[in-house]
Amino acid sequence: MKVNKMFSVKALFLLALSVMMVLVTACSGGGSSESAAGTADEKNEDGTYKNNLTISYASVTDPSKADMNDKFHKYFTDKFNITWDYNYIDWDSWPEKMRLWINSGEMTDFASWNYVQGDAVKYIDQGLFYKFPDDWKERWPETAKAYASTGLGERLEEKVGGTYVLPKPVYFQNQPADPLLNQIGVIALRKDWAEAVGFELKDAYTVTELMEYAKLVKEQDPGKVGSRLIPMSFNAGDLLTGFVMANNEHARVESAFYKGEDGKYTWGPADESTLTGLKLMQQAYKEGLLDPEFYTWKNSEGGDAFKVTGISAIAGLGGLASYRQDMDNAMKKNLDLDSSEVVHEALILGEDGKYRNLEQVNFWSSLVFSPDISQEKFERIMDMIEYSVSEEAQRILNLGFEGEDWKEENGELVSLLPEGTTLEDKYPGRFEGLYVLGDDFSVINPSIKKEFRDRSVELYKEKAALSTEGGEMAVYDWDFQLYTSRSKDQANFDYATEYANLILQAGDLEENWKKWVESKQSLVQPVIEELNNEFAQ
């Protein structure tokens, strides 16, 4: 009998302990939850969501023209029983506004954030981002696959001890080439003007060759533009990409600090090849091939001179098929031109004939969550993100509704939107992709002309071939990218502006460049020393 009593007491103790553990688990939630995912959001018997949740979201999507009762928005709000509290952030103020909201603890429930590694680590250390439940990948497996494709997600986990950020995948199901290179470095030129002045059309040009074309256009004015003509409508960022980086792949902020052949880090802007690009920039400026005030241009002003006012012979384009479609729509609308007849896309080579670019890391920006978000809201948002990754949702997000906006015919997707219009025209304020970026779908999107999609993939493959067959590719350096220090933050320069200032300075460019390099050493050298101490071979 004693033995039976002992077992009874032990059983009661274990039962009480189990009940306590269940209660603790059920009550846990909110910021930094490590409880099992999917325990707080209540559903009805038919699987619909019981409670309507007002969820605040911040992004650069402008909802001012959006009708929240249109078919697109209503589909998602009804499906997930959500009332949106949209918070629009202007593109130019995006980093600063998000920084203020995050630091002040006034962030929306979740937000689209332009990921910065140093800031991410600081915010995580300070408890300013929500920590995902440890088993979130089991509850939302398709989101977990997309997350893993970014490369960043799991590496950041190792560094900070959990998941706090969802980097957005650029490509998930439709990667156009391997290796994947950055979509920058594609230009558009007026092929009708090229034919008029006797300039050969090719898939790739050196900067000098493009300047020769610009000079011919300036001299002959085949478009009869007159004094408004801007032969090369590049802003400071375009010139960094097209002139300097074509000659030195380590002249940009993403790859400025790089490991040389000796296994030690160095600073790319101090390389002689940077000067090569700067000399070409200055020559183009002095010869009147650039707009006299190119350095004041913002965002789309360079492209607008080409596709809106039609006063430019060459403009930066970027490699996405969607950019090419936007150009086509703009030229039809503003210039009554069929861009297929008058536009040629090409790559830019260095003066030595080599192609240079950056390895495309497979993420851009991210989703982050308020540390004060309720577990119920977190789960609802994650359920929506999980759905957004599916094939069904990707078609709705990027094409609209089957039978109304698109159809499938002989195994091919066919757009039913009126020619020259986009899904954004029909459903303004659309949260494009939500998690997987629209770049991925642009490879197969039938609302983009097939010729533009095919040419985009062709150029991506050409970049890959040129980079691996005698070209130069700045391999994405995870050691450097995930390294954080005060010195590294202080040496984060706006190279487009720095280079523009250099070519505008009076005096000898080479001397000015050498002085500039020397002036940066007090900030650059500590970073080099830290990186070599940490990672040199």
Domains detected in the chain: 53-171+363-399 (3.40.190.10), 186-359+471-535 (3.40.190.10)
Q: How far apart are CA 57 and CA 421, in angstroms?
A: 27
Identify the pLDDT of residue 92: 87
Q: How far apart are CA 226 and CA 311, in angstroms?
A: 9
Q: What's the rounded Cα separation, in Å, for the pair 133 and 380?
A: 14
φ, ψ for residue 259, nearest 5 deg? -90, 120
Predicted local distance difference test score (pLDDT) of residue 27: 39
Which amino acid, 44?
N
Q: Are 59 and 112 contacting, i.e. CB atoms less than 8 angstroms apart?
A: yes
Q: Are 520 and 490 in contact (CB under 8 A)?
A: no
Residues of the chain with pLDDT below 70 are 1-38
Instruction: Say if CB 156 and CB 120 are below 8 A apart.
Output: yes
**β-bridge partners, 49:** 43
The pLDDT score that the predictor gives to residue 38 is 55
In the prediction, which pLDDT does 8 show? 38
Q: What is the pLDDT of residue 324?
A: 95
Determine the Cα–Cα distance for residues 177 and 128; give it in Å rounded to an integer: 37
Would you call 474 helix, strand, or coil by DSSP? strand
Strands 82-88 and 53-59: parallel
- Type of residue at 453: R
CA quadruple 138, 143, 147, 149: dihedral positive or negative?
Answer: positive
Give the bridge partners for 56, in sequence order. 85
pLDDT tens-place string over residues 219-248: 999 999 999 999 999 999 999 999 999 999
Taking the CA atoms of 104, 106, 109 and 114 in sequence, report the sign of the dihedral they define. Answer: negative
**67: which 2 tokens?**
């009708």
pLDDT at position 24 is: 35
Mean pLDDT of the chain: 90
Cα–Cα distance measured from residue 116 to residue 366, given in angstroms and rounded to the nearest whole number: 10
What is the pTM (predicted TM-score) of this model? Answer: 0.80
And the tokens for 195?
């034919």
- Residue 89 to residues 102, 304, 370, Cα–Cα distance (Å): 14, 23, 17
In this predicted structure, what is the pLDDT of residue 35?
Answer: 46
Handedness of CA 223, 229, 232, 233 (dihedral sign): negative
Place of tokens 């095919």: 454
Nearest-angstrom CA–CA distance, 445 and 214: 34
Distance CA 475, CA 472 (A): 9
Question: With 0-12 CB in 10 A as exposed, 13-18 as middle and 19+ as buried, what is 365?
Answer: middle
Model pLDDT, residue 323? 92
| Beta strand segments in 288-430, E | 312-316, 343-349, 356-358, 366-369, 406-409, 412-415
